[in-house]
């Protein structure tokens, strides 16, 4: 079913307590894999209400019902240093990071995969809505999930050939309603559990309130496109291009249209806002850094691809080219070349720090961080 000889293959499955990962375990067990469920304990801020105890209990109950061993891996240090500290650092630089991408890169397919291998696992599995496919040349492709409304390949663009070679995505071939029905069929104790949302492992939270514990508020000006001061805000670090809330307009009338953030000056702590619809001042090109190509090789620059700059954004036609000269690339080092992405149509709210991910049909080719 999942494209490999499953007999006696030992698989560690990341169990969050949710339906998707629990169904993944049940499917793998049914297919004959030697399955172990693993709950990952990560750093939690002491100023936020923690629900992770319930998550672990739900995961443990599902594992017991299915009849598999259950382990807990402690990645508190790794998560704080690699995900939370990275996120705070990016916001301090005025960028808007995607911590879920970094969580996948450093925790689920980093620390978890390494520890699983060290403990004798042949493979790991997660509840992501994505698929893998091995070509006749031995190269692995990362494909979108069958359910395009749930497809999570956008968050997986950092994966490498070695990681794909050792990863299974059991629910990627199903639609979400089918997964929910499978949970009922397997009589899982968490079959009716609601979907989790928010930051990877931490859950839903007010990002500004979180960041205020690490970044001091600093009152700054809000200016219009003419440079006139029309309001104030609590700090440029907390705000994102395209945002229409989080700042105060003092010079306004009852008939004013909404204002959108169209510019940020980090040094002066100023944001520029406009009544214009975002698409009227949309970006036609962006530069990417920290680029990863899943195959290990960059795609053909002469072709047109599809891309998205945020999760669930409709795919957009793009072309790309290498931004740096050969001399610059040599100085930057292997894998550090920057790429210029050219959009066929202007893109609204393109935000530095976010991920741009490229596709060719249903294949996720890779991506990078928007500069």
Pair 202, 230 in one domain: no
Pair 158, 193 in one domain: yes
Q: Which residue has the higher pLDDT, 138 or 15?
A: 15
Residue 342 CA to residue 201 CA, distance in Å, equals 34
Sequence-distant (≥ 6) Cβ neighbours of residue 180 within 8 angstroms: 19, 191
In a domain, 177, yes or no: yes
Q: What is the pLDDT of residue 31?
A: 96
Q: What is the pLDDT of residue 199?
A: 64
Residue 35 CA to residue 26 CA, distance in Å, equals 9
- Quote the domain boundaries for residue 245: 223-278
Which alpha helices (DSSP H) does 104-206 contain, by range?
Answer: 112-118, 161-165, 176-185
Q: What is the pLDDT of residue 349?
A: 77
pLDDT digits (tens, 9 = 90+) for 337-359: 899 999 999 888 788 999 999 99
Q: What is the pLDDT of residue 201?
A: 55
| Interval 19-48 mean pLDDT | 94
In a domain, 352, yes or no: yes
pLDDT digits (tens, 9 = 90+) for 120-176: 999 999 999 999 999 888 999 999 999 999 999 999 999 999 999 999 999 999 999
**pTM, 2 dp:** 0.89
Measure Cα distances from 241 to 96, 189, 315 in Å: 9, 42, 20
Q: Could you tell me the two tokens for 29?
A: 């067990």
Q: What is the pLDDT of residue 231?
A: 97
Residue 60 CA to residue 81 CA, distance in Å, equals 27
Pair 20, 126 in one domain: yes
In a domain, 4, yes or no: no
Pair 38, 142 in one domain: yes
Pair 84, 105 in one domain: yes
Residue 275 CA to residue 66 CA, distance in Å, equals 55
In a domain, 124, yes or no: yes
Can you tell me which residue has the tokens 């978890």? 112
pLDDT digits (tens, 9 = 90+) for 69-97: 999 999 999 999 999 999 999 999 989 99
| Interval 211-233 mean pLDDT | 95
Coil vs helix vs strand at 283:
strand
CATH of the domain at 248: 2.30.30
Minimum mean pLDDT range among 2-16, 17-31, 95-109, 181-195: 2-16
Is residue 195 within 8 A of residue 23, CB to CB? The reply is no
In a domain, 98, yes or no: yes
Name the percent of the chain lying above pLDDT 90: 75
Position 332 confidence tier, pLDDT thresholds 50, 70, 90 = low
Pair 26, 115 in one domain: yes
In a domain, 30, yes or no: yes
Residue 39 CA to residue 54 CA, distance in Å, equals 12
Q: Could you tell me the two tokens for 338?
A: 């920057």
Q: What is the pLDDT of residue 69?
A: 98
Structural domain tally of the chain? 3
CATH of the domain at 183: 3.40.50.620
Residue 6 CA to residue 168 CA, distance in Å, equals 11
In a domain, 148, yes or no: yes
Pair 303, 255 in one domain: no
Position 280 confidence tier, pLDDT thresholds 50, 70, 90 = very low
pLDDT above 80 for 277 = no
H helices, E strands: number in the chain: 10, 18
Could you give the maximum distance between any two Cα atoms of the chain, in Å? 70
Q: Could you tell me the two tokens for 136?
A: 């006749």
Pair 185, 260 in one domain: no
Is residue 36 within 8 A of residue 66, CB to CB? The reply is no
Expressed in angstroms, the distance from the first to the final Cα of the chain is 40
Can you tell me which residue has the tokens 């936020």? 48
Active site residues: 103, 200
């Amino acid at each position: 079913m999942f494209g490999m000889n499953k007999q006696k293959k030992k698989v560690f499955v990341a169990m969050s307590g949710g339906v998707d990962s629990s169904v993944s375990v049940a499917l793998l067990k049914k297919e004959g894999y030697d399955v172990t469920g693993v709950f990952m304990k990560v750093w939690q801020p002491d100023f936020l209400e923690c629900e992770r105890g319930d998550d672990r209990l739900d995961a443990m109950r599902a594992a017991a019902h299915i009849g598999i061993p259950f382990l807990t891996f402690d990645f508190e240090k790794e998560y704080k240093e690699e995900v939370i500290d990275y996120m705070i650092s990016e916001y301090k630089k005025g960028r808007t990071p995607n911590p879920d991408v970094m969580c996948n890169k450093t925790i689920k397919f980093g620390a978890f995969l390494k520890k699983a291998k060290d403990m004798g696992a042949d493979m790991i599995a997660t509840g992501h809505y994505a698929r893998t496919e091995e070509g006749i040349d031995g190269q692995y492709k990362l494909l979108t999930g069958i359910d395009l409304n749930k497809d999570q390949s956008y968050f997986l663009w950092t994966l490498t050939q070695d990681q794909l070679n050792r990863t299974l995505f059991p629910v990627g071939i199903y639609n979400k309603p089918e997964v929910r029905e499978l949970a009922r069929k397997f009589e899982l104790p968490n079959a009716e559990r609601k979907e989790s949302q928010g930051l990877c492992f931490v859950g839903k939270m007010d990002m500004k309130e979180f960041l205020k514990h690490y970044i001091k508020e600093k009152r700054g000006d809000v200016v219009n496109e003419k440079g006139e001061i029309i309001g104030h805000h609590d700090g440029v670090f907390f705000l994102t291009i395209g945002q229409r809330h989080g700042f105060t307009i003092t010079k306004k009338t009852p008939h004013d249209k909404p204002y959108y953030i169209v510019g940020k000056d980090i040094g002066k702590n100023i944001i520029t806002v406009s009544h214009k619809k975002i698409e009227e001042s949309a970006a036609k090109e962006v530069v990417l850094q920290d680029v990863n190509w899943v195959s290990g090789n960059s795609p053909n620059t002469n072709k047109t691809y599809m891309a998205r700059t945020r999760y669930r954004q409709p795919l957009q036609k793009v072309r790309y080219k290498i931004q740096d000269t050969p001399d610059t690339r040599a100085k930057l080092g292997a894998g550090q070349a920057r790429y210029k992405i050219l959009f066929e149509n202007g893109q609204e709210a393109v935000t530095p720090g976010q991920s741009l991910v490229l596709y060719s049909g249903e294949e996720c080719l890779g991506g990078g961080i928007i500069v």
